[in-house]
């Protein structure tokens, strides 16, 4: 049974950041999977502020990137690694932070996925994930099952378009690499971050609809320690 935490729209990002900061204080050597996207951006902004106040110690944490585009050059602003560095990692003091990006420049997609999976297989204490409008988690697009491995995937049309339209990619990527549902379901804790009224329908499907590969996020309900951190705008369709 998922633990549902509904915050006010204005307190949401701070509430999530405070909870993560508290976890880092308790467990500084946290192995943490982080997503990118518009959802976590304000959370990262708050985390940077908390870090400046000495309240969010990342110095000993290990960060594992959730997913990455294939085929975007390293300087493309939409790249997930670039975005996470820009919004969080490069702004943290003191460093260093161990950051495992996905080696899409150095390795062929399948080899990059395999290498990244080996990193995640060392264990994830906490996986933070966002929710795609089509129910994807990372790039586990609809059709992904609970045992799906870390792999290179063809992106759904929505994910391709989001890269250029919302995140400013120079060209529309067609493939991505994602931690698989199996790896995410193996994390000790999973926090699903959902904000914005545009996510109300898919959040309802995720939490109340059938548990099915049609909506990969619904598979997270099989995790014993799933926590859904959301806000009032996104919960409009939950009774």
Candidates 14, 67, 81, 231; binder of ligand GLP (CB under 6 A) is 67
Neighbour tally for 239: CB within 10 Å: 5
Nearer to ligand GLP, 57 or 133 (CB): 133
141 is catalytic: yes
The first and second tokens of residue 18, run together, are: 């405070």
How far is 28 from 22, CA to CA, in rounded Å? 10
Neighbour tally for 153: CB within 10 Å: 24
Closest CA to 36 of 128, 141, 149: 128
How far is 190 from 52, CA to CA, in rounded Å? 26
Site for ligand GLP in 136-165 (CB under 6 A): 138-139, 159, 162
Neighbour tally for 231: CB within 10 Å: 23
Should residue 124 be labelled a site residue for ligand GLP when binding is judged by CB under 6 A? no
- Report in angstroms how near the CB of residue 61 gets to ligand GLP at its nearest: 19
Closest CA to 17 of 1, 34, 40: 40
- Report in angstroms how near the CB of residue 193 gets to ligand GLP at its nearest: 8
C-alpha R_g of the chain? 16
By three-state DSSP, how is residue 116 classified?
Answer: helix
Candidates 11, 22, 38, 90; binder of ligand GLP (CB under 6 A) is 38
**Per the residue annotation, which of 116, 141, 223, 231 is the catalytic one?**
141
154 is catalytic: no
Number of residues that bind ligand GLP (CB under 6 A): 12
136 is catalytic: yes
Candidates 15, 17, 21, 39; binder of ligand GLP (CB under 6 A) is 39
Nearer to ligand GLP, 103 or 159 (CB): 159
**Per the residue annotation, which of 134, 189, 214, 232 is the catalytic one?**
134
How far is 91 from 179, CA to CA, in rounded Å? 25
Q: Mind telling me the catalytic residues?
A: 67, 134, 136, 141
Residues in contact with ligand GLP by CB under 6 A are: 35, 37-39, 66-67, 130, 132, 138-139, 159, 162
């Amino acid at each position: 049974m998922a633990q549902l935490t509904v915050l006010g729209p204005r307190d949401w990002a701070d509430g999530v950041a405070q909870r993560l900061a508290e976890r880092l204080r308790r467990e500084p050597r946290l192995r943490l999977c982080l997503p990118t996207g518009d959802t976590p951006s304000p959370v990262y902004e708050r985390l940077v502020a908390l870090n400046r106040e000495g309240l969010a110690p990342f110095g000993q944490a290990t960060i594992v990137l959730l997913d990455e585009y294939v085929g975007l050059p390293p300087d493309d602003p939409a790249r997930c690694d670039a975005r996470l560095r820009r919004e969080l990692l490069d702004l943290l003091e003191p460093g260093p932070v161990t950051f495992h990006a996905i080696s899409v420049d150095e390795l062929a997609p399948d080899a990059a996925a395999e290498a990244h999976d080996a990193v995640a297989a060392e264990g994830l204490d906490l996986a933070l994930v966002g929710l795609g409008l089509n129910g994807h988690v990372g790039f586990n697009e609809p059709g992904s099952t609970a045992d799906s491995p870390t792999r290179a995937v063809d992106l759904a049309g929505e994910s391709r378009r989001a890269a250029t339209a919302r995140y400013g990619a120079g060209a529309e990527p067609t493939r991505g690499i994602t931690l698989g549902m199996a790896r995410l379901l193996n994390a000790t804790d999973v926090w699903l971050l959902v904000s914005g009224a545009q996510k109300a329908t898919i959040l309802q499907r995720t939490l109340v609809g059938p548990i099915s590969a049609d909506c990969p996020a619904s598979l997270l309900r099989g995790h014993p320690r799933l926590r859904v951190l959301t806000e009032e705008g996104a919960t409009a369709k939950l009774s």
